[in-house]
Structure 1
Amino acid sequence: MRLYPDGVLVGRARIAGHDHPRIVTVRGDQLVDITSAGRATVRDIAEAGSAADYVRSQTGQVLGSVEAIMANSAATAPDASLPVLLSPIDLQAIKASGVTFVVSLLERVIEEQARGDKSRADALRGEILELIGTDLSELVPGSETAAKVKAALIEKGVWSQYLEVGIGPDAEIFTKGQPMSSVGYGAEVGLHPISSWNNPEPEVALLVTSKGEIIGATLGNDVNLRDVEGRSALLLGKAKDNNASASLGPFVRLFDGEFTLETIKQAEIALRVEGEDGFVLDGHSSMSQISRTPESLVAATIGGHHQYPDGLVLYLGTMFAPVQDRGGAGKGFTHKIGDVVSISTSSLGTLSNRVNLSTKCPPWTYGSSHLLRDLAKANLL
């Protein structure tokens, strides 16, 4: 699969000679700098309206081959004279939806019942599936049927807070990270060093304006610490929000008539994990199996109850929950340092990152205040 799709693409890059990230798009096989005064952030392009038309109309400065720049972005020691892709968003809030697919719902229940102990997961998985005895994929969250299943599970003693948000009336929406904290294509993604049971979460993430309009999408890796969240859902912040734990990219593809939200609803997302130990894991996530619509998840995030003046990016959740053993029977999957995680779909390209400890990934030092100061110095605000 090609690393980037056709369509109207927008992203950000670090370019030699500039203190601030530059706004880029793709023309054919070339990366083009389209940074301009008044629209020097992805936030400004999104909020001004007609984002796809604006990006399509810009000429800008050719920076070089997209493939060469993506290769440089993923290099262990990037060439400082060449651009490096960054996360394709900037001032937007980084939000995420949880437990939106049946498979991940069951795995969250297992995490909770195991109290973060991965050695108990296999036995618990069989026990819980036998107890549930219902195809949860047919349940509409918040429906009368879902309420009956909830009552039956409570009676059997396996009710869980994860089942509540999986089939109950309210979606789980949480803050994945702060604006400017996400990393992009080729960057390292971080695991908190206390974790010994963790996994990637391959997802589609929507670009949403301050008015709640969905205008584009990108790929995301919502890096997850299963043992930490399994100990207590109140540790969600520690499990989810760490240095370099939110990856997005390679570009935001803007809706343009040919590429729409309906395209996203039918997306098939492939995941591949390749370890330095020779381990390979392949999986996939089908957006057609999501239990809550993307529109309903956006409505649960932004509206009269909560505003985001700079817009937001919303991870939609994943159906992928890796159970393939690594390092011995019954031990399940967990990351090892150096794993390369690639998330791909034909409409959005490929997002690839290398796994490291969050304490060893480059620290996050460039925030919103730095960006605004640098843009002001460049007369771009």
Structure 2
Amino acid sequence: MPDDADAVLVGRAWSPAARGPSVVVVRGDELVDVTQTFPTVRDLCEQEDPAAAARDASGPVLGDVADVLANTATVVRTDERPWLLAPVDLQVLKAAGVTFTASMVERVIEERAGGDHREAARVRRELAAAALGADISRIVPGSAEATRVKEYLTEHGLWSQYLEVGIGPDAEIFTKGPVLSAVGTGAAVGVLADSSWNNPEPEVALVIQSSGRAVGATLGNDVNLRDIEGRSALLLGRAKDNNASCALGPFIRLFDDAFTMDDVRTMSVQLEIRGTDGFRLEGVSAMEEIARDPEDLVSQLVGRHHQYPDGVVLMLGTMFAPVVDRDLAGGGFTHRLGDVVTISAAPLGALVNVVDHSEECPPWTFGVRDLMTALADRGVL
């Protein structure tokens, strides 16, 4: 849970009694079911002041936070008791890529290595020798200096489509997955069985209402299949959008006087990976090092050029691109089945998932029609 007891936290939990998801607000040690007032998280986030609306909402207690969290992990879940889901519902799932210099350089390496993790080590040495990244980290995307760097790198055969979105005027923003397809904390998170080079991407995700105003934040894992994307950027959909490949949670922390966009800008996101083989890896993404301001990314996503009537979630990108060797020298990092991935930030809590093949993760079966049917059966639509 977040380190601030006054945090306004909202989310979703599966209610066995209602045979569907409930919108919940954390109140002390309890989860309060506010579905009668706000049938969807989207409805709550569309309020003029979502944090105040969440504080004022009333309803029955669904369960103790600790008990619901304990029942959330897939391996110990009891279907007769509530468990947490991804904290968003009707919002579109989007992600921004190449927003940190460290990950931008790694995307260049993926591309030049053609998705081959063995070749990546050689390319990494080549680019380090060319000092790629040393000066780019200080460049403002879309600036005159960025244009000059582009011309220089093009001249020397080092320009890449990833540098285009990293320091060019337009951000890379893509659809991470369909509405309702995200998994929550405690769930299995998926990588394709035929991927041999992949990693988690720990990120802050903004929750944005239809007006284009960000109203809160949560944690996200934008799982990435580096070998598939490295073969061709046109395979981004296959690399990014698979069963259980998007994790969000545990809750949305709504913006209020105690938690604002400035807190997002200065947040540190920690990553820990623990393998069944005894492997352990830790990393940190410092939001202060992001190349594009979160508000700029939001404005590139929502505006007169594109609307989202039910709101949108935007993962802001990560600087984490692990290069530590897990198995063979020069082989870099890739997931193994059973890896426990913990993404945490003091103001947002922790998102914990266990890695499995997407093909073996519980299939996504509860769609928009099912949600509408469940809410209609409860008489809240």
Common fold: TM-score over 0.5: yes
Matched, 1:171 2:171: yes
Comparing 19-28 with 244-253, which one deviates more in the overlay?
19-28
Q: Deviations along 1:108-166, whole A, 9 cap, x unmatched?
A: 00000000100011111121122245421110001111111111111111110000000
State the match for 2:223 in structure 1.
223
Matched, 1:109 2:108: yes
CA spacing shift, 1:274–1:3, aligned 2, 3 Å: farther
Q: TM-score, normalised on structure 2? A: 0.97
1:283 to partner: Cα distance? 0.4
State the match for 1:98 in structure 2.
97
1:216 to partner: Cα distance? 0.2
Instruction: Give yes or no for contact 2:96–2:172 (8 Å, CA) kept in 1.
Output: yes
Alignment of 1:316-355 (within 5 A): 316-355=316-355
CA RMSD of aligned residues (A): 1.2
1:104 to partner: Cα distance? 0.2
Instruction: Give yes or no for contact 1:269–1:344 (8 Å, CA) kept in 2.
Output: yes
Comparing 253-262 with 79-88, which one deviates more in the overlay?
79-88
State the match for 2:58 in structure 1.
59
State the match for 1:44 in structure 2.
43
State the match for 1:277 in structure 2.
277
What secondary structure does 1:369 align onto? helix
- Equivalent position amino acid for 2:112 in 1: Q
1:67 to partner: Cα distance? 2.2
Q: Deviations along 1:294-345, whole A, 9 cap, x unmatched?
A: 0010111110001111010000000011111111211100000111100000
Identity, % of aligned positions: 55
> How far apart, in 2, do the equivalents of 1:125 and 1:162 lie?
15
State the match for 2:255 in structure 1.
255
> How far apart, in 1, do the equivalents of 2:109 and 2:4 lie?
37
Q: Which runs of 5+ in 1 are unaligned?
A: none
Instruction: Give yes or no for contact 1:13–1:85 (8 Å, CA) kept in 2.
Output: yes
1:69 to partner: Cα distance? 1.6
- Equivalent position amino acid for 2:64 in 1: S
1:75 to partner: Cα distance? 4.5
Alignment of 1:367-378 (within 5 A): 367-378=367-378
1:23 to partner: Cα distance? 0.7
What secondary structure does 1:314 align onto? strand
> How far apart, in 2, do the equivalents of 1:130 and 1:149 lie?
17
What secondary structure does 2:204 align onto? strand
> How far apart, in 1, do the equivalents of 2:70 and 2:342 lie?
14
State the match for 1:205 in structure 2.
205
Alignment of 1:145-160 (within 5 A): 145-160=145-160
State the match for 2:13 in structure 1.
13
What secondary structure does 2:23 align onto? strand
What secondary structure does 2:72 align onto? helix
1:60 to partner: Cα distance? 2.0
What secondary structure does 1:73 align onto? coil
> How far apart, in 2, do the equivalents of 1:82 and 1:350 lie?
22
Instruction: Give yes or no for contact 1:5–1:349 (8 Å, CA) kept in 2.
Output: no
Q: Which runs of 5+ in 2 are unaligned?
A: none
Instruction: Give yes or no for contact 2:187–2:354 (8 Å, CA) kept in 1.
Output: yes
State the match for 2:130 in structure 1.
131
CA spacing shift, 1:5–1:221, aligned 2, 3 Å: farther
Stretches of 4+ moved more than 3 A in 1?
A: 2-6
Comparing 22-31 with 292-301, which one deviates more in the overlay?
22-31
CA spacing shift, 1:121–1:172, aligned 2, 3 Å: same
Q: How many pairs align?
A: 379
What secondary structure does 1:76 align onto? helix
1:3 to partner: Cα distance? 6.1
> How far apart, in 1, do the equivalents of 2:158 and 2:338 lie?
37
1:373 to partner: Cα distance? 1.6
What secondary structure does 2:75 align onto? coil
> How far apart, in 2, do the equivalents of 1:85 and 1:5 lie?
20
Matched, 1:82 2:75: no
State the match for 2:266 in structure 1.
266
What secondary structure does 2:70 align onto? helix
> How far apart, in 1, do the equivalents of 2:229 and 2:16 lie?
40
> How far apart, in 2, do the equivalents of 1:82 and 1:266 lie?
37
> How far apart, in 1, do the equivalents of 2:30 and 2:181 lie?
27
Comparing 127-136 with 116-125, which one deviates more in the overlay?
127-136
- Equivalent position amino acid for 2:53 in 1: Y
- Equivalent position amino acid for 2:20 in 1: H
State the match for 2:380 in structure 1.
380
What secondary structure does 2:235 align onto? helix
> How far apart, in 1, do the equivalents of 2:91 and 2:68 lie?
25
Instruction: Give yes or no for contact 1:131–1:156 (8 Å, CA) kept in 2.
Output: no
